[in-house]
Amino acid sequence: MGSHGIKDRVAIVGMGCTNFVEHWDKGLDDLVVEAANDAYGSAGIDKDKVDAYWLGTAQGGMSGITLARPLQLENKPVTRVENFCATGSEALRQAAYAVASGAYDVAMALGVEKTKDGGFQGLNAVPPPNDGTGRTLTAAAMFSMVAPAYAAKYGVDADKMREAMAHVAWKNHYNGARNSRAQFRREVSMETICNSPKLAGDLGVFDCAGVADGSAAAIVVRAEDAYDYTDTPIFVKALSFIAGNGSGVTDPSYDYTHFPEIAATAADAYAQAGITDPRRELALAEVHDCFTITELILMEDLGFSDRGAAWRDELDGVYDLDGDLPVNPDGGLKSFGHPVGASGLRMMFEAWLQLRGEAPDDRQLALAKPGGDRNLALTHNLGGYPGEMVSFISILGR
Amino acid sequence: MRGIQSWSAYLPYRRLDRTQIAPFVGQGGGKGTRTVASFDEDSTTMGVEAARLALRGRDLVPAQLLFATTFPAYADRTNATAIHAALRLPDTTAAFDLGASVRSSVGALLLALTGGADPALVVAGDVRTGLPGSGEEAASGDAATAFVVGSDATAPVVAELVGSASVTDEFVERWRAPGEQRTKIWDDKFSEISYVPLGVQAWNAALAAAGLTANDVAAAAVVAPSQRVARSVGGKLDGVHVIDDLSQTVGNAAAAQPGLLLAALLEQAEPGQVVALVVLADGADVLLFRATDALGSYRPVRPLAAQLAAGAALPYGKFLAWRGMLPVEPPRRPEPQRVSATAAARSQDWKFGFVGSKERDTGVVHLPPARVSRGGEQIDEMDPVPLADVQGTIVTFTVDRMVYSPSPPVVFAVVDFDGGGRLPVELTDADAGEIEIGQRVEMTFRRLYASDGIVNYFWKGRLVRDG
């Protein structure tokens, strides 16, 4: 028994990512074709070279046919996967394992979501028929319960807490303003963020991720084949995933100041990759900033900040684009937008750009690019709610 | 001896100040307040609340449940079964609806008082509205009542039925087509001249049946369709003191009104006194009760007087919205799907009874009930744990301004129950600004929403308040 990982056995050799915006003029099929073609082109192959596909979409369609039909794949194994907001990451995870097992030579993971055809605000999942007793709160409301609990536990006064959360949004908008694919491409002042209309608890509009349409894709091959495709493959150092058992929701010992599923995934991922000091070994982290308070808590669960210190580190600029450990240099869910099935692969796309030195100059991290001091990137995806979530972490590296 | 063993009234938390009506509508309203059922209450849920109060802490297991209302949540299927399920009564306890007329509730009481079920539980609940600016809207109130009726073989009788009489007549004094909210009235004078002789006839017949004279009656309560009728009939009761009809505080709660005034009579009665309930609805019913010595030691769980003193104001606009008279733009989120009948049937004890499960070894409480222990070591090593009457404490909370609700925003809290168990649950009868960590919460049976005509009943939390 054990979680051993597949360190350095699989590499990403091509990626594609559409703009993440409200694509009123594009359907799911258009987004799929665009991301897949970008990935094929990036790897320098045509679609017949891909032996197997994994499609991640939360609500975009059922079965692998959702991908096989628009791409007109002939006699290919195509699997649709879903794991809440970690759906895109799950597609990559399955593709990587399939290649590592030797079952296939080349696999594609593609994530897509067409969120804006529903006509409702936010993200809406249709629950299966049920007895009507389950809670129906928005994700914003569930995560909003974390901020007061955290502030109370660590004695952070309300103004500082507000400021730290706003800094997360400010930072991610600053980064997203330097990303041509991002949904929101402008900087936003701290004042605007703090004064935005409240949606749930103390979470205002600017504390919440953007909701966008989009797609992203990756092509994975065995590590030994990687240099046949590119001079700068990105190797999978760790893949860790946990589906929580939901006990936090009903366990009185859970205090809404941390996410145990995240800390457990982080420990597993760091062990797989051989990381002992993530804050100093990672060149960047792409994390699941569905809400500003979420990103703060993640800094502690991922081991970047000590418990109770993330709010101060955030305000000190540790996670800014020019900080000790840049977090969400592409703008994160906050300003890049969150097409559920695509977001996990979008995070990997940023790692792909940064570690290959291909990010635009105004956000390329010096320490991440080839020749830089660090060669590892972390991507982190969660889905669900405090006390009941799925968590995914990848470590990618040169 | 057969009579009342226990009782309770239930008044909803909200009060409408009638002076708000005329400035808004241009007519109607009046003085005083009326009670208003919350957007998440109906005649059934308020009936559950009244019955819980009547049964709480008393060793009473009703053999029969009778439920009366003029505004049933369902037609064709029985509404009393939801009350039966929420109270976790034995499946051998029959549950019947009577209705949907005002007189059905006093009919249910008489059936129980003269019937064989020992004890019987008689529940009445009503949500009354009427068109904006109407007399019906201003004069009505929302309430529920519950009476446990039986012989002293099963429990001490606190008020014995010593006589009753009923007279019946057919005249269209007021009417409402099924499904409509507006009650129409023919002529107030016609009502008066029709009801006065009926009331006098029943009054005299009841006294004769009991072998009493009016001098033996300490107080009477008069339930009538209008205050004009109430005053006229009250003046013909041989000078017997007529108690306040609650019109300035509650309003007329239709099918719940007889029980409400009977509760008021009993709360004021001394052992040995005789009190009279006079109900004028499509005829007249007079019930004479003698308070027994057992009444001296009987304490209502939540006295009507305390409930009258409690409550909080509701803006008239909210009242209109809650009653469907003023459609308000909902949050731009999907409306809920209908409840699965099969899933609801499987989880009846949780959904209606608020029963969790408790691990035998560790005492860990699971809400909703689970089969597998926390950590997964044991399967089906649990006992049911009823938590409807257990209080809890708010651990953290939020206000959701985005989620769909019949009356946004949703106030929501994580509640830890005394003795174990945690549930994130919606709060009701509370304003968004008054919630704090550490506040005490009790559970209340509510109507979350209805979809495709299926009502989704479940429990919510409510701040523990005096009254």
Whole-number pLDDT of residue B99: 81
Q: Does B426 touch chain A (CB under 8 A)?
A: yes
Whole-number pLDDT of residue A61: 96
User: Are B343 and A148 inside 8 Å of each other by CB?
Assistant: no
B416-460: per-residue pLDDT in tens? 999 999 999 999 999 989 999 999 999 999 999 999 999 999 999
Cα dihedral sign for A53, A58, A60, A63?
Answer: positive
CA–centroid distance for B236 within its chain: 30
Strand segments (E) across B186-343:
217-223, 274-280, 283-291, 312-313
Set of chain A residues whose Cβ sits within 8 Å of the Cβ of B369: none
Set of chain B residues whose Cβ sits within 8 Å of the Cβ of A247: 374
Q: How far apart are CA B276 and CA B450, in angstroms?
A: 40
Set of chain B residues whose Cβ sits within 8 Å of the Cβ of A127: 337
Q: Buried b vs exposed e over A204-224: b needs ≥16 C-beta within 10 Å?
A: bebbbbbbbbbbbbbbbbbbe
Q: How far apart are CA A377 and CA A366, in angstroms?
A: 13
pLDDT, chain B, mean: 96
Radius of gyration of chain B (CA): 23
- Beta-bridge partners for B4: B149, B159
User: Are A141 and B410 inside 8 Å of each other by CB?
Assistant: yes
User: Are B332 and A250 inside 8 Å of each other by CB?
Assistant: no
Tell me the mean pLDDT in the region A259-282.
98
Q: Does B397 touch chain A (CB under 8 A)?
A: yes
Mutation target to probe the B interface, by most B beta carbons within 10 A, among A59, A136, A153, A258 is A136
User: Are B402 and A250 inside 8 Å of each other by CB?
Assistant: no
Set of chain A residues whose Cβ sits within 8 Å of the Cβ of B421: 250, 252
pLDDT, chain A, mean: 96
- Beta-bridge partners for B291: B159
Q: How close is the nearest chain A Cα to the Cα of B425, in Å?
A: 7
Q: How close is the nearest chain A Cα to the Cα of B146, in Å?
A: 26
Q: How far apart are CA A195 and CA A202, in angstroms?
A: 10
Set of chain B residues whose Cβ sits within 8 Å of the Cβ of A198: 399, 401
Interface of B with A in 329-388 (CB under 8 A): 331-334, 336-337, 339-340, 343-344, 346-347, 350-351, 366-368, 374
Length, in residues, of chain A: 398
Instruction: Collect all residues with Cβ–Cβ distance below 8 Å to B313 and sequence separation of at least 6.
Output: B14, B15, B16, B17
Quickly state the pLDDT bin for A35 (edges 50, 70, 90).
very high
Q: How far apart are CA A353 and CA B116, in angstroms?
A: 83
For the purposes of burial, counting CB atoms within 10 Å of the CB of B86, is it exposed (0-12), middle (13-18) or buried (19 or more)? buried
- Cβ neighbour number for residue B175 with a 10 Å cutoff: 10
CA–CA distances in Å: residue A232 to residues A10, A97, A168, A311: 13, 21, 31, 36
DSSP A85: B
Top pLDDT among A126 and A389 is at A389
User: Are A252 and B416 inside 8 Å of each other by CB?
Assistant: yes
Say whether the peptide bond before residue B119 is cis (omega within 30 degrees of 0): yes
Tell me the mean pLDDT in the region B145-156.
97
Q: How close is the nearest chain A Cα to the Cα of B443, in Å?
A: 14
pLDDT at residue A110 greater than cutoff 80? yes
Closest of A222, A227, A20, A209 to residue A113, by C-alpha = A20
Set of chain B residues whose Cβ sits within 8 Å of the Cβ of A121: 331-333, 402
Set of chain A residues whose Cβ sits within 8 Å of the Cβ of B396: 145, 148-149, 256
pTM: 0.95
Whole-number pLDDT of residue A212: 96
Our CA angle for B77, B80, B86, nearest 5°, is 120
Whole-number pLDDT of residue B334: 83
- Cβ neighbour number for residue B48 with a 10 Å cutoff: 29
CB A377 within 8 Å of CB A397: yes
A277-315: per-residue pLDDT in tens? 999 999 999 999 999 999 999 999 999 999 999 999 999
A329-354: per-residue pLDDT in tens? 999 999 999 999 999 999 999 999 99
Instruction: Collect all residues with Cβ–Cβ distance below 8 Å to B438 and sequence separation of at least 6.
Output: B393, B394
User: Are A126 and B337 inside 8 Å of each other by CB?
Assistant: yes
Whole-number pLDDT of residue A1: 66
Tell me the mean pLDDT in the region B48-65.
97
Closest of B18, B44, B54, B182 to residue B126, by C-alpha = B44
- The amino acid at residue A335 is S
Tell me the mean pLDDT in the region B46-74.
97
SS (H, E, C) A54-79: EEECCCCCCCCHHHHHHHCCCCCCEE
In chain A, where does DSSP find H-type helix?
28-43, 65-71, 87-100, 139-144, 146-154, 158-176, 190-194, 247-250, 260-273, 278-281, 292-301, 310-315, 332-336, 340-355
Chain A: which residues have CB within 8 Å of chain B? Answer: 119-122, 124, 126-127, 129-133, 135-138, 140-142, 144-145, 148-149, 152, 198-201, 247, 249-252, 254, 256
Quickly state the pLDDT bin for B201 (edges 50, 70, 90).
very high
Q: How far apart are CA A125 and CA B328, in angstroms?
A: 24
User: Are A126 and B346 inside 8 Å of each other by CB?
Assistant: no
Radius of gyration of chain A (CA): 20
Closest of B9, B25, B10 to residue B319, by C-alpha = B25
pLDDT at residue A133 greater than cutoff 60? yes
User: Are B347 and A199 inside 8 Å of each other by CB?
Assistant: no
Q: How far apart are CA B220 and CA B237, in angstroms?
A: 8
Mutation target to probe the B interface, by most B beta carbons within 10 A, among A133, A135, A258 is A133
User: Are A135 and B343 inside 8 Å of each other by CB?
Assistant: no
CA–centroid distance for A357 within its chain: 20
User: Are A141 and B400 inside 8 Å of each other by CB?
Assistant: yes
Q: How close is the nearest chain B Cα to the Cα of A204, in Å?
A: 10
Q: Residue A124 is nearest to which of B334, B423, B424, comparing CB atoms?
A: B334
User: Are A132 and B421 inside 8 Å of each other by CB?
Assistant: no
pLDDT at residue B282 greater than cutoff 60? yes
In A109-259, where does DSSP find H-type helix?
139-144, 146-154, 158-176, 190-194, 247-250
User: Are B422 and A136 inside 8 Å of each other by CB?
Assistant: no
Q: Does B421 touch chain A (CB under 8 A)?
A: yes
User: Are A133 and B368 inside 8 Å of each other by CB?
Assistant: yes
Q: Does B423 touch chain A (CB under 8 A)?
A: yes
Q: How close is the nearest chain B Cα to the Cα of A87, in Å?
A: 22
User: Are B343 and A131 inside 8 Å of each other by CB?
Assistant: yes
Please report the number of interchain residue pairs, chain A to chain B, with beta-carbon separation below 8 angstroms: 113
Say whether the peptide bond before residue B112 is cis (omega within 30 degrees of 0): no
- The amino acid at residue A70 is P
User: Are B422 and A256 inside 8 Å of each other by CB?
Assistant: no
End-to-end CA distance of chain A: 29
User: Are B396 and A135 inside 8 Å of each other by CB?
Assistant: no
Q: Residue A251 is nearest to which of B374, B425, B437, comparing CB atoms?
A: B374
Tell me the mean pLDDT in the region B215-220.
98
- Beta-bridge partners for B358: B365, B383
Q: How far apart are CA B441 and CA B354, in angstroms?
A: 15
Q: Buried b vs exposed e over A154-165: b needs ≥16 C-beta within 10 Å?
A: eebeeeebbbbb
pLDDT at residue B231 greater than cutoff 60? yes
Determine which helix (DSSP H) or strand (DSSP E) holds B21, and give its type and residue range.
Answer: helix B21-25
Set of chain A residues whose Cβ sits within 8 Å of the Cβ of B433: none
Quickly state the pLDDT bin for A127 (edges 50, 70, 90).
confident
Quickly state the pLDDT bin for B466 (edges 50, 70, 90).
low
| B423 to chain A: closest CA residue | A250
| A198 to chain B: closest CA residue | B401
A192-231: per-residue pLDDT in tens? 999 999 999 999 999 999 999 999 999 999 999 999 999 9
Asked if the interface predicted TM-score (ipTM) of this complex is over 0.85, the answer is yes
Q: What amino acid positions of A are annotated as catalytic residues?
A: 85, 338
Both tokens of A155, joined, read 């004695």
Q: How far apart are CA A161 and CA A381, in angstroms?
A: 24
- The amino acid at residue B409 is P
The SS3 of residue B83 is helix
Whole-number pLDDT of residue B121: 98
Set of chain B residues whose Cβ sits within 8 Å of the Cβ of A119: 332
B357-387: per-residue pLDDT in tens? 999 999 999 999 999 999 889 999 999 999 9
Set of chain A residues whose Cβ sits within 8 Å of the Cβ of B426: 135
* φ/ψ (deg, to 5) at A252: -60, -15
Set of chain B residues whose Cβ sits within 8 Å of the Cβ of A140: 400, 402
